[in-house]
């Protein structure tokens, strides 16, 4: 066995396999919930009534918090945090790097007389000034323009990590452009709240606020830390660039929902305890399809809090995995030939009166309300499918989309055959004023029966990127490493735009003399006609669907550069500006950042692959080939020429095959490096990304195929890379 692999296996924490490392868990996990969160209950305890009400108004009504109140909140936060051993605070934010960021400052403040106190003011709570020069900005600012601001988001509660008070914040440039995921998301949430509340006045005038909700499902892989460290490709890129598939992978489907290994269960138990303390309401854990792949999911929450919780969870998971001698992989496709990982985003709308707007009611009026939001969601996706596709585009997600564990890149909507038939009935609605019989038939026999239909709804369609699953839409195409905010910003933006347009169209018909219900039915009928091409109930993996989608005029942007190019469509630029999410410059900057990230990821992968191939694979193959040559020479000395030809035939064939694969790898690396250098020299971001996609990335396969062939030829003791069978089946 190679030295690298031997050391990796030698350092496995075998003692941990033999004892229970489980953390102490109380009889009720609920006793821990929000223990380390400046929650509503904690605020009631630490804040004055005036300060508490001000925070609640900011959360529920979006009102501003006065400086005097901010001072009170800051002191209360400090006192609460210090009672739990906290010494520092930080504005916790989500820059466009894809990870979270924080700069810690101490409460410690020197005062006269050689003394010191702990101090935290409203000014420090509301705003900080981290260095913004090294964060992605898409050309908005120069490197020497370092100033940026983080600003407190009172709608997401502060929390404690270790000895640090973390304050969720937005991040903006000195000139006011957004440099993070949170700021545009908050704008989108405000827009859809306003638009949906206006539409709800048709049905319930008591509704004064509509809150988008999100329930994400996080998939991930666990790999033993020692084995992870033995794979340079995993360490540097988050995925394996080489590796022959094991004889047994996921073919038997025996891992899915199977018994959770003890060592993994210990990790999950500690993770759940920490999640409870941080107010992350995780409720589900299970084995996923691939070996060493798992999933957890929480209860639904308000979108902004849910996004923060998912970003926080990914940080916590990595830390706890380390304590259990695991490394966690969020890459969408870390292992070729087995299931990849996604992060399904389940989206809905809830009112301040306790209703889910995507859940049917008990009477025709409530079902007309359901159909209004249901059809408008479909119409929004139909109108802005390319924008939704761009929101989930990344180099890592390209490996997953269209494979047998993720929907294709074609954006379609699945609603189930029964609901599809309901929409077909609505499509037949007479234009203009309805007769009494038509109205009765429609309300009782079509709209009135929706709850009964949904009790036995069509099976969920895992091949659809946007599927209705009973009382929510599931965006299945989001990648496991992604920040949920990007797809949620797009979804809520397009929903806000669509609901605003719907309200205008219905009001215009009412002004012509139509009654409210008739006007709603007329508009919905037209929407259904316009959207039929995006509704698809079949197998999204089939080749037939790709052909059918093309006939329907649906786009199939298979790669990130293709998808991101659509983002700059004038229609989308105008949408963002109209709804108040981004100005044109901000969209251009974000597009530039994503293109640059794509090119950088492929460039790093190319360099790592070339390095491993030249410095690990070829030398090991040559070493084994030399052994074979020595063996052949020995056979020739012992046996005569005729006998030697018979005995050495297989060895000679093996030597030849090794030589051919070594030559293929060497030539492949040289070709790859030339292609990489040519792509890197391109200055225009879109063109460069396309070059990396079309001319650099395809060359990986030549090197990988030859290397994987060698893996099956070279002596296991000499092979330098930890193999799939060793990484995927650790217990």
Residues of the chain with CATH 3.30.590.10: 189-582
Residues contacting 243, CB < 8 A, separation 6+: 335, 336, 708, 711, 721, 723, 724
Q: What is the pLDDT of residue 461?
A: 67
261: nearest Cα among 326, 329, 341: 326
The domain defined by 32-179 folds into Ubiquitin-like (UB roll) (3.10.20)
Q: What is the pLDDT of residue 22?
A: 52
Tell me the two tokens of residue 265: 């269960």
Domain 597-728 has CATH 1.10.3720.10: no
Residues of the chain with CATH 1.20.120.1560: 597-728
CA–CA separation, 350 and 353 (whole Å): 8
193: nearest Cα among 568, 572, 496: 496
In contact, 408 and 402? CB cutoff 8 Å = yes
CA–CA separation, 290 and 566 (whole Å): 33
Q: What is the pLDDT of residue 630?
A: 87
381: nearest Cα among 555, 521, 241: 555
| Cα distances (angstroms) measured from residue 206 to each of 60, 366, 676, 707 | 15, 14, 61, 66
Other CB atoms within 10 Å distance of the CB of residue 100: 18
CA dihedral 597, 346, 567, 184 (to 10 degrees): -80
Residues of the chain with CATH 3.10.20.70: 32-179
Phi, psi of 221 (to 5 degrees): -110, 150
pTM: 0.92
Mean pLDDT by 10 residues, the chain (731 residues): 54 43 67 94 94 91 88 94 95 91 89 83 86 68 66 95 96 86 96 98 96 96 95 96 85 73 92 95 90 94 97 96 96 92 96 93 85 97 97 93 78 89 84 71 68 58 85 94 97 98 97 92 94 90 89 94 96 97 94 96 98 96 93 77 74 92 97 98 96 97 97 94 90 68
Tell me the two tokens of residue 357: 């707007």
Residues contacting 61, CB < 8 A, separation 6+: 209
Q: What is the pLDDT of residue 539?
A: 84
- Map tokens 């809905």 to a residue: 348
Tell me the two tokens of residue 46: 């630490």
Q: What is the pLDDT of residue 18?
A: 33
In contact, 146 and 133? CB cutoff 8 Å = yes
Tell me the two tokens of residue 532: 């039929």
Q: What is the pLDDT of residue 63?
A: 86
Tell me the two tokens of residue 18: 């033999």
The domain defined by 189-582 folds into Creatine Kinase; Chain A, domain 2 (3.30.590)
């Amino acid at each position: 066995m190679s030295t690298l692999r031997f050391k990796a296996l030698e350092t496995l924490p075998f003692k941990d396999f033999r004892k229970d490392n489980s953390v102490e868990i109380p009889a009720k996990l609920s006793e821990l919930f929000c223990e380390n969160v400046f929650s509503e209950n904690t605020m009631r305890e630490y804040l004055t009534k005036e300060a508490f009400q001000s925070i609640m108004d900011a959360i529920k009504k979006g009102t501003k918090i006065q400086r005097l109140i901010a001072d009170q909140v800051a002191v209360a936060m400090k006192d609460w945090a210090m009672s739990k051993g906290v010494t520092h605070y930080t504005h916790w934010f989500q820059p466009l790097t894809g990870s979270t960021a924080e700069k810690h400052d101490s409460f410690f403040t020197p005062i006269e007389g050689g003394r010191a106190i702990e101090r935290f003011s409203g000014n420090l709570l509301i705003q900080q000034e981290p260095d913004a020069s090294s964060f992605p900005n898409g050309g908005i600012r120069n490197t020497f323009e370092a100033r940026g601001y983080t600003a407190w988001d009172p709608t997401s509660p502060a929390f404690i990590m270790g000895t640090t008070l973390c304050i969720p914040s937005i991040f903006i440039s000195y000139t006011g452009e957004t440099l993070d995921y949170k700021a545009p998301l908050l704008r989108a949430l405000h827009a859809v709240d306003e638009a949906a509340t206006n539409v709800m006045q048709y049905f319930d005038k008591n509704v004064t606020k509509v809150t988008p909700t999100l329930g994400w499902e996080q998939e991930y892989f666990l790999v033993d830390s020692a084995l992870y460290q033995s794979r340079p490709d995993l360490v540097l890129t988050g995925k394996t660039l080489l590796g022959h598939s094991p004889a047994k992978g996921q073919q038997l489907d025996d891992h899915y929902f199977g018994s959770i290994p003890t060592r993994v269960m210990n990790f999950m138990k500690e993770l759940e305890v920490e999640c409870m303390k941080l107010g992350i309401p995780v409720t589900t854990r299970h084995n996923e399809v691939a070996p060493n792949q798992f999933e957890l999911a929480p209860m639904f929450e308000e979108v902004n809090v849910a996004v923060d919780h998912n970003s926080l969870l990914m940080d916590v998971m990595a830390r706890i995995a380390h304590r259990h001698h695991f490394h966690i992989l969020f890459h969408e496709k870390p292992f070729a030939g087995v299931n990849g990982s996604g992060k399904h985003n389940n989206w809905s709308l809830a009112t301040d009166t306790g209703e889910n707007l995507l859940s049917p009611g008990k009477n025709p009026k409530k079902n007309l309300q359901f159909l209004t939001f249901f059809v408008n969601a479909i119409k929004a996706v139909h109108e802005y499918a390319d924008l939704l596709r761009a929101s989930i585009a990344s180099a890592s997600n390209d490996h997953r989309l269209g494979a047998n564990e993720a929907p294709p890149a074609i954006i379609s909507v699945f609603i189930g055959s029964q609901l599809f038939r309901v929409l077909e009935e609505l499509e037949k609605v007479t234009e203009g004023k309805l007769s009494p019989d038509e109205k009765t038939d429609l309300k009782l026999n079509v709209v009135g029966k929706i709850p009964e239909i949904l009790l036995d709804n069509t099976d969920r369609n895992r091949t659809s990127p946007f599927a209705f699953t009973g009382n929510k839409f599931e965006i299945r195409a989001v990648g496991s490493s992604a920040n949920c905010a990007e797809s949620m910003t797009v979804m809520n933006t397009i929903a806000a735009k669509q609901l605003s347009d719907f309200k205008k169209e219905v009001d215009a018909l009412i002004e012509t003399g139509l009654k409210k219900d008739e006007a709603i039915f007329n508009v919905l009928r037209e929407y259904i006609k316009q959207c039929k091409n995006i509704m698809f109930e079949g197998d999204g993996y089939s080749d037939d669907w790709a052909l059918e989608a093309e006939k329907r005029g649906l786009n199939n942007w298979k790669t990130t550069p293709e998808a991101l190019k659509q983002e700059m469509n004038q229609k989308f630029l105008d949408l963002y500006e109209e709804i108040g999410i981004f100005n044109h410059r901000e969209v251009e900057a974000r597009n530039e950042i994503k293109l640059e990230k794509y090119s950088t990821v492929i460039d790093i992968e190319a360099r790592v692959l070339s390095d491993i191939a030249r410095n690990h694979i070829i030398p090991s193959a040559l070493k084994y080939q030399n052994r074979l040559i020595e063996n052949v020479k020995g056979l020739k000395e012992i046996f005569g020429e005729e006998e030697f030809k018979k005995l050495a035939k297989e060895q000679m064939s093996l030597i030849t095959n090794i030589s051919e694969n070594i030559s293929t790898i060497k030539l492949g690396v040289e070709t790859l490096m030339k292609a990489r250098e040519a792509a890197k020299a391109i200055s225009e971001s879109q063109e460069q990304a396309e070059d990396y996609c079309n001319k650099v990335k395809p060359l990986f396969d030549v090197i990988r195929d030859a290397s994987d062939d060698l893996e099956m030829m070279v002596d296991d003791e000499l092979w330098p890379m930890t193999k799939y069978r060793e990484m995927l089946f650790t217990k």
